[in-house]
Amino acid sequence: MLTTNPNWRKAEEPKSGVAQVAATYVNWGPGEHILPFQTRFLNEAFERKKDGTWKYRRVAMNAPRQNGKTKLLTALIIYVLYVLGGQILVTAHEQAAADKIMQDVSDSIDKHPELLALVSKRRTTAGKAQIRLSTGADVQFRSRKGKTSGMGGTFDLVIFDEAQELSSTYEGMISKALKTRRNALIVYTGTPFLPDSKGDSFNILLNGAEEDDGLYALRYGIDDDTCDITDETLWAATNPLYPGIIPRESFLTDIAIARQSGEAGVMDFRIQNLGLWFEQTIPPVIPADLWSKSMLDLPHDRDTLVYAITYDPLSSMIALSVAAYSEKATIGGKDYAEHAHIVGEIVDERTSAGDWTWIPTMLKTAPRKTTVVLDAGGLSNPIREMLPKGLNIIQLSGPEFLATQQGFVDLLNNGTFKHPDNPQLISEASNATKANSGDMWKFVPIRKGETISGLKALSEAVWYRGVNKPQPKQAPQVVYV
């Protein structure tokens, strides 16, 4: 079952046990109380059948940040601890997120003497945080960065917070600890995927929620990655705490900050504030509207050509891409100065299992001393042997290789790079996300079966052209004798 962007703002009675605990015991803050959307969610998601078992064995909630997910988890934890006497594991990607939930649970317990009286042990040590009751009920708070966190226990309730970072491997390992529990419950809470999110489970869960009768899923968010971020109806539709708890001024401030970072900042606002969801798991590192705005077919200065050759071992594809400075031109009534932009595109991509002679054929007409960036791994030496004489062949260091991709995105963001309408390039740009590599990052494909080798080659050619500016053309000198 999947519910998307419900407008739950009408007052509702707490009916489920979890909702009643939330209304009575959760510390909502000075002068605050449970809101209608929270009551409705807790009533529906944690309904119990006549035999006492949960109606839904799995519950998921996805919403933009700062929409009260922690308070909802606190209510559930207190209910399972004090009413059901259960064993609970709370996991989050970062220990700080797990600690935040523990602090909220502790604050609610401390404000009610009847709850506090049953606490027999409370430990706040990172990696060992725990609350135990004299009844034997227990809750542990762990970071998933410890690969064995939660192993060895048997639980009635498992909470995967920051579920956008949850790996299917860890999920499967922990879920096995619930098999012997008749009334086990798994809860997933998270925000939409960011470009550097690592999870591979939450998206699959939510994408299949509509057909799963054993899953209750609630999602607040948009699907349009080009939506108007100033549309206040979208703010309200995707943020159940707006405008009662989250004020209008907060959105206006976030928009101003987002615009300072250009298209990437605007896309981040759509993800973080409006819950933009990408079915492919994570969004591409190059927003679609940024890529569209950079489309302009300018003529190039042949004397500034830079080629790049890459090899993708995962897809066994060899790619050749090219970049150059633009020539002076007038397009659509607008004048473009010489070298105002860097232009580039994919020349060709072919499998490494075929004939490689297409590479030197493509390069044989290049001007003498044209730079070719050769980044083909183990194929670099045999490819080098095939290339025409007189070319300037260079190979990048590891840090330079990583710098090419960040530099390429920077040139997109500042409007320097322009490209023609090339379907293969558009496809690869939409398929590229980023993965951390030390202190930097690199392009990796979202859809693993599709190559992005042409985009990688293009980023190398564009970056090299950008940091190695051509010498100004010298007018021919006339010598009088």
At 215 the pLDDT is 94
At 472 the pLDDT is 66
At 344 the pLDDT is 96
282 has pLDDT over 70: no
At 192 the pLDDT is 83
pLDDT above 90 as % of the chain: 60
Across the range 23-49, mean pLDDT stands at: 89
31 has pLDDT over 70: no
Cβ within 8 Å of residue 339, ≥6 positions away: 301, 304, 325, 326, 470
Cβ within 8 Å of residue 238, ≥6 positions away: 5, 63, 64, 220, 221, 222, 273, 274, 275
At 422 the pLDDT is 87
| 182 token code pair | 């008749």
Q: Please report which confidence band the pLDDT of residue 278 belongs to, taking 50, 70 and 90 as the band edges.
A: low
Q: Please report which confidence band the pLDDT of residue 24 belongs to, taking 50, 70 and 90 as the band edges.
A: very high
With contact defined as beta carbons under 8 Å apart, do 83 and 54 qualify? no
- Residue 146 CB neighbours (<10 A): 12
| 409 token code pair | 């995105």
At 209 the pLDDT is 85
Across the range 290-294, mean pLDDT stands at: 90
At 289 the pLDDT is 82
Residue whose C-alpha is closest to residue 159's, from 46, 86, 60: 60
121 has pLDDT over 90: yes
Write down the mean pLDDT value for the chain: 88
441 has pLDDT over 80: no
How far apart, in whole angstroms, are the C-alpha atoms of residue 360 and residue 368?
Answer: 14
* 351-398 pLDDT, tens digit each: 999 999 999 999 999 998 999 999 988 899 999 999 999 999 999 888
At 127 the pLDDT is 75
At 61 the pLDDT is 94
Q: Please report which confidence band the pLDDT of residue 481 belongs to, taking 50, 70 and 90 as the band edges.
A: low
Q: Is the pTM of this model over 0.85?
A: no
| 81 token code pair | 């601890």
At 279 the pLDDT is 56
* 140-194 pLDDT, tens digit each: 999 887 655 655 578 999 999 999 888 888 888 888 777 778 888 999 999 887 7
Cβ within 8 Å of residue 162, ≥6 positions away: 92, 93, 94, 97, 189, 190, 191
- The region of weakest confidence among 58-67, 228-237, 373-382, 467-476 is 467-476
At 473 the pLDDT is 62
At 28 the pLDDT is 83
Question: Distances from the Cα of 77 to the Cαs of 46, 131, 158, 236, 268, in angstroms?
Answer: 12, 11, 10, 28, 32
Residue whose C-alpha is closest to residue 466's, from 302, 323, 329: 323
At 442 the pLDDT is 83
22 has pLDDT over 80: yes
Cβ burial of 380 (10 Å; 0-12, 13-18, 19+) is middle
Across the range 387-411, mean pLDDT stands at: 90
* Highest mean predicted confidence (pLDDT) among 128-137, 171-180, 199-208: 128-137
At 265 the pLDDT is 87
Across the range 287-313, mean pLDDT stands at: 92
Q: Please report which confidence band the pLDDT of residue 464 belongs to, taking 50, 70 and 90 as the band edges.
A: very high
At 118 the pLDDT is 96
Q: What is the 3-state secondary structure (H, E, C) of the chain?
A: CEEECCCCCCCCCCCCHHHHHHHHHCCCCCCCCCCHHHHHHHHHHCCECCCCCECCCEEEEECCCCCCHHHHHHHHHHHHHHCCCCEEEEEECCHHHHHHHHHHHHHHHHCCHHHHCCEEEEECCCCCEEEEECCCCEEEEEECCCCCCCCCCCCCEEEECCHHHCCHHHHHHHHHHHCCCCCCEEEEEECCCCCCCCCCCHHHHHHCHHHCCCEEEEECCCCCCCCCCCCHHHHHHHCCCCCCCCCHHHHHHHHHHHHHCHHHHHHHHHHHCCCCCCCCCCCCCCCHHHHHHCECCCCECHHHCEEEEEEECCCCEEEEEEEEEECCEEECCEEECCCCCEEEEEEEEEECCCCCCHHHHHHCCCCCCCEEEEECHHHHHHHHHHCCCCCEEECCCHHHHHHHHHHHHHHHHCCCEEECCCHHHHHHHHCEEEEEECCEEEEEECCCCCCCHHHHHHHHHHHHHHHCCCCCCCCCCCCCC
At 151 the pLDDT is 59
